[in-house]
Amino acid sequence: MTQGVVVAAAVVALAAGTPAAAQRAAGADTSAAAADSLRVPPAFRFSQEAGLGLRAMWEESVAAKQERVACLSATIRNDTVFVARILELASHEADSMSIGSEGSIERCGPPEWSGTVHTHVALYTEDSPSMRFSAQDRGVMSRWYQRWHADGVFCLVYSARDAHCEADGVVGGMRSAPVIVR
């Protein structure tokens, strides 16, 4: 039996306090049928404190040419994930990409923390890092779930202004239970 989890994802702008409405700007059909078949992922909003912390973490990561990781504190209300704060972890607890997965799994759990955020600085294309979670990232996320047995919020920062974020258990503004896929 394979377990699947309902996941909402969004690409967000890291401007502190602004909603990530870009995913809604595509002019989607708003009919009832379209609403049932195409759910809009939740928005992600960052407090000023979290936004400034992510910007500083990105700048440090770029300067060092190494990835960085932080704990992420978030709450989910309706269709919005509010990221309140982050706690950058020391880079000496790191693997070859400067991300300490065991340390972040243990340190970044409930109730104080909702998941993790990390940077991608190594170039994936000629001019930009990967904008999606890697297989290794997914492995760390899986181990986080196994450790904490809770829905999580995970982000990766791939530029000074942009991140890709995912929140488990949120679909179309409604909190949902994990779905078991057989």
| Residues 8-39: tens digit of each pLDDT | 455 555 544 443 333 333 333 444 444 444 55
For 50, the domain range is 2-181
CA-CA distance, 130 to 121, in Å (whole number)?
A: 8
β pairing state of 2-3 and 174-175:
unpaired
**pLDDT by residue (tens digit) across 60-100?**
999 998 899 999 999 988 778 999 999 999 875 544 444 45
Instruction: Give the torsion sign (CA, 134, 139, 155, 70).
Output: negative
**What would the pLDDT profile of 109-123 be if each residue is shown by its tens digit?**
999 999 999 998 776
Reported as a single tens digit per residue, the pLDDT across 117-143 is: 999 877 677 777 777 888 888 899 999
CATH number for the domain harbouring residue 143: 3.40.140
Question: In sequence order, which ranges of the chain are alpha helices (DSSP H)?
Answer: 32-37, 48-64, 101-107, 135-148
Alpha carbon distance 98, 67 (integer Å): 5
Contact 42, 80 (CB under 8 A): yes
Residue 28 zone, left/alpha/beta (φ > 0; ψ -120 to 50; rest): beta
The pLDDT assigned to 109 comes to: 95
What's the pLDDT at 134?
A: 86
- For strands 153-157 and 115-119, give the pairing: parallel
Three-state DSSP class for 86?
Answer: strand
3 state DSSP class of 75: strand
What's the predicted TM-score (pTM) here?
0.70
Rg of the chain on CA atoms, in Å:
16
Total domains, the chain: 1
